[in-house]
Structure 1
Amino acid sequence: MANTDFALDQKTETPGLEYLRWMQEATAQGKGLGGLVREIAGLMWGPGKLQPNEYFMYKLYDDQRYGADVKKTFLGAQRHHELLAALDMPWPKIANDKPTLTALLRGHELPIPETQAMRHAARTFPGAKPLFSREDVLRFLRQEAVYPLFTKPTAGACSLGVANIESYDADADCLLTSDGRQVSVEDFADQAEQFAADGYLFQSRLTPHPQMADIVGNRISTVRMFVLVDEQGPVLLRAAWKIPGAETVADNFWRAGNMLGGVDVETGNVTRVLMRTAEGTEPVEEHPVTGTKFDGLTFPEWDAMKDLVMRGAAAVPSCHLQGWDVALTDQGPVLIELEGDGGDSIMEQLCFDTGLLQGRYLDFLNKAMLQRKENAKSAKRRSRKKLWANLSQLNMNAQRSGDTESEPTTTHSA
Structure 2
Amino acid sequence: MSIDKYASALATVRMVNLVRENDVFCPMAVIKLPQGENIADAFWRPGNIACSINVESGKIETVTRRADMEVEFLEDHPETDGLMGLQLPFWKELIEINDLAARTFAPIRYQSTDIAITDAGPIMVELNYGGGFDLPQYASGKGMLTPEVRKFFEGFGYDFDAQPKKKGWFFGRR
**TM value normalised by structure 1:** 0.36
The one-letter code matched in structure 2 to 1:312 is: A
Q: How many residues align?
A: 159
User: Per the alignment, do residues 353 and 213 of structure 1 end up closer, same or farther by CA in structure 2, a change over 3 Å counting?
Assistant: closer
- Alpha-carbon separation, structure 2, partners of 1:287 and 1:338: 27
Greater Rg over alpha carbons, structure: 1
Displacement after TM superposition at 1:327 (Å): 0.2
Among 145, 156, 161, the alignment partner of 1:357 is 145
Matched, 1:260 2:55: no
Which consecutive residues of structure 1, in runs of 5 or more, have no partner in the other structure?
1-209, 372-414
Which residue does the alignment assign to 2:70?
280
Q: What is the root-mean-square deviation of aligned Cα atoms in Å?
A: 2.0
RCO greater where, 1 or 2, for CA within 8 Å and sep 6 or more?
A: 2
Secondary structure class of the residue paired with 1:211: coil
Distance 2:158 2:111 in 1: 21
**Structure 2: distance between partners of 1:335 and 1:346:** 22
Aligned partner of residue 319 in structure 1, secondary structure = coil
Deviation, 1:215, is: 3.1
Distance in 2 (CA, whole Å) between partners of 1:216 and 1:228 is 28
After superposition, residues 100-249 of structure 1 pair within 5 angstroms as: 211-217=2-8, 219-249=9-39
C-alpha contact 1:323 1:338 (8 A) present in aligned 2: yes
Richer in strand (by share) = 2
1:312-391 residue pairs with structure 2 within 5 A? 312-341=101-130, 343-352=131-140, 354-369=142-157
Match of 1:306 among 57, 79, 95: 95
Structure 2 residue runs without a partner (length 5+): 160-174
Residue in structure 1 matched with residue 172 of structure 2 by the alignment = none
Which residues of 2 match residues 7-156 of structure 1 at below 5 A? none
What does residue 164 of structure 2 align with? none
Q: CA deviation at 1:358?
A: 2.0
Q: Could you say if the C-alpha distance between residues 244 and 231 of structure 1 is closer, same or farther in structure 2, counting changes exceeding 3 Å?
A: same
Is the CA contact 1:325–1:337 (under 8 Å) kept in the aligned structure 2? yes
Distance in structure 2 (CA, Å) of the matches to 1:357 and 1:288: 30
Measure, in 2, the Cα distance between the counterparts of 1:248 and 1:263: 22
Give the letter for the 1:272 counterpart.
T
Moved over 4 A (4+): none
How far 1:325 moved relative to its partner?
0.5
- Structure 1 distance, partners of 2:119, 2:128, is 24
Contact 1:285 1:294 (8 Å CA) reproduced: no
Higher helix share: 1
**What CA distance in whole angstroms lies between the structure 2 residues aligned with 1:349 and 1:296?**
18
Work out the CA distance in 1 between the residues paired with 2:134 and 2:22: 25
Please give the alpha-carbon distance, in whole angstroms, between the structure 2 residues aligned to 1:262 and 1:346.
12
Q: Are the counterparts in 2 of residues 228 and 236 from structure 1 also a CA contact under 8 Å? A: yes
Post-superposition offset of 1:353: 5.0
- What is the alpha-carbon distance in structure 1 between the residues aligned to residue 84 and residue 62 of structure 2? 8
1:226 aligned counterpart, secondary structure: strand
Between the aligned partners of 1:335 and 1:215, the Cα distance in structure 2 is 20
Q: Identity of paired residues, percent? A: 29
| Counterpart secondary structure, 1:351 | helix
Amino acid corresponding to residue 43 of structure 2 in structure 1: F
Q: In 2, distance between residues paired with 1:245 and 1:353? A: 21
TM-score using structure 2 length: 0.82
Counterpart contact for 1:226–1:239, Cα < 8 Å:
yes
Alpha-carbon shift at residue 310 of structure 1 (Å): 0.6
1:107-153 per-position Cα deviation (integer Å, ceiling 9, x unaligned): xxxxxxxxxxxxxxxxxxxxxxxxxxxxxxxxxxxxxxxxxxxxxxx
Sort the Cα spacing of 1:225 and 1:332 in 2 relative to 1 into closer, same or farther, 3 A: same
Alpha-carbon contact 2:16-2:112 (below 8 Å) kept: yes
- Equivalents in 2 of 1:222, 1:256: separation in Å? 17
Preserved contact between residue 77 and residue 84 of structure 2 (Cα < 8 Å): no
